Structure 1
């Protein structure tokens, strides 16, 4: 596997080499503590329903200001974490990728803050930072796709459409032919990190989500898509895409839904 998802030990050996980003709320970062050297970029600051180019993106200018203000440059390695198994942190990484950050320099901490704090020191000191130049450009050729792409994928035997919502949501209506994969199935509640590679691959193969196919993800929350997308990147899946429009939008554009009720 790659180092898209990295262990606490991996990070502990590289704290001076990477930029660690805590996406929890400011009160958690300040009051509970954080990984030494981590800067705070709260989840709500890099998402928007109206200001971005597509989906829940915050807009290129806003994102560049956020990261530049905490000292992160365009070519820096980033390790992101939260305290919710990585589902919020993954969204920061996907956002950075969509704005042109080299995907090979984007890493998700396996586990979360609670898991880190069990074995490693934490800090309550905000590190000094110097503003950096963070240049962005929204990738029109990136993995974020529109309705037309989804419509074409429905009848494509080489594409598997994956619904990352909960079971009741899926049963009420889903894109025709979609299989369901709840992102939490990939996470071990005891360790707070990912299940073993063999277990995750078994879960994926049961649903015919294989590296040989193009995988198209969708959900009604960007963070759940982002976590599954990040795990699939970590496993080396070469052809990934995701749709962030709501199913309400899908139906408004003439798309049909299947139901299991």
Structure 2
């Protein structure tokens, strides 16, 4: 080898070693910067700073878990937060769920919290993240981090992204109702008149055994009638409201042993024109679990003479058969079947008193539950409302979005009302309940129906 070649080779090797050393120093610096942003507690739980958490928001290898209550996740400010809601993209898994379910591992997976992900846990102030860390570690999760500063700190900076349920205040929680009963003015209550109703069908058997203090009983026979179980006439609905002391500006809180009946009442009251209708998330059993007082004395409302506005004030919230047909013709329309899959494809009618099987031709399925009397797809195991992001995602997968003109139907209106109220909470504007549903539609043989698996 000539001297020239030897010198060239030596220069090349020196340059190569220098580049490798510089690159190694850069990687080391980056790692040092990240390690400086993570504090290890008891050599177990690693705590992330706000800046490092912000960097992970869009990383698909990470899942951010909000372990606060559903109420806080949806938007309620329980710790004087500057902004209500949750960190953008976070899933909600309340810490108390870890003590209330037998199938914890399955529930974690259902919520996207899997062992192959880096899991970042946060609460309001960083006080409970170590508890969730222990739970996950015991289940085999090896990459669990805590956000040390908590949501309260995150919410201070307006530039840090957050999300919330648009009309979160319409879905109340037990402590809020209890404060109202005690004569206080809980957050978002700017009124002076309120009424609480336990809603169910028939005689007040469960109500008489115990109910929320001050609550009245509303039999759904007061708002719907046979033979089709459609809503009563506008005149009858207005009279019912007057008899129960409800005006258009009364704050009405509804709940049930099963909230489906309460949802039916909510849709009809909103249709009539009651401006502030709220649902107790989780219903009576959420109240009972919270440990608040139960009373057995029946309450009788004082009637009023004037509702205050013409009934119905929101005619667009409930439609009938002719409008349902128009929805089917409209390219932007979505007539959404809130029925079990077996009902939708015609394996069962779902009801002992409905004989025809199938679905309205052109309607799309929108999830529901196992049968006509359950709504598992819309609820958590404790009967609270399912994460609204999941509901919206399920609908989007089926071509149902906020931009559509959406009308929900079921057999007779109860399940459709629950889907309607979920969309109402999300702030969707072009929504309604097709009151007659499958029952009314199927009785007219001229109305087109479909059976079997959808082809589109």
The counterpart of 2:345, out of the listed 150, 171, 189, is 171
Aligned mates of 1:58, 1:197 — CA distance in 2: 31
SS at structure 1 position matched to 2:414: helix
Whether the 8 Å CA contact 2:317–2:431 is kept in 1: the answer is yes
Q: What is the aligned partner in structure 2 of residue 235 from structure 1? A: 426
Q: Please state how far the C-alpha of 1:210 moved relative to its aligned partner.
A: 1.3
Aligned mates of 1:115, 1:162 — CA distance in 2: 29
Does 2:184 match 1:10? no
Q: What is the aligned partner in structure 2 of residue 72 from structure 1? A: 246
Matches within 5 A, 1:120-139: 120-127=292-299, 129-135=301-307, 137-139=311-313
SS at structure 1 position matched to 2:262: helix
* TM-score using structure 2 length: 0.51
CA distance 1:94–1:140, shift in 2 (3 Å): closer
Q: Please state how far the C-alpha of 1:12 moved relative to its aligned partner.
A: 2.3
* TM-score using structure 1 length: 0.86
Q: What is the aligned partner in structure 2 of residue 117 from structure 1? A: 288
* CA shift digits 1:170-208 (9 cap, x unpaired): 11121233222214311112x211112222222222222
Does 2:330 match 1:156? yes
Whether the 8 Å CA contact 2:335–2:407 is kept in 1: the answer is yes
Identify the range of structure 1 (61-70 vs 175-184) with the bigger mean alpha-carbon deviation.
61-70
Whether the 8 Å CA contact 2:264–2:418 is kept in 1: the answer is yes
Identify the range of structure 1 (191-200 vs 141-150) with the bigger mean alpha-carbon deviation.
141-150
Q: For CA contacts below 8 A with separation 6 or more, give which structure has more relative contact order.
A: 1
Aligned mates of 1:161, 1:60 — CA distance in 2: 24
Gaps of 5+ in 1: none
Higher CA-based Rg:
2
SS at structure 1 position matched to 2:315: coil
Aligned mates of 1:248, 1:23 — CA distance in 2: 22
Does 2:416 match 1:225? yes
CA distance 1:43–1:148, shift in 2 (3 Å): closer
SS at structure 2 position matched to 1:125: coil
Does 2:318 match 1:144? yes
Does 2:273 match 1:100? yes
Whether the 8 Å CA contact 2:198–2:218 is kept in 1: the answer is yes
Root-mean-square deviation (Å) = 2.4
Aligned mates of 2:329, 2:235 — CA distance in 1: 38
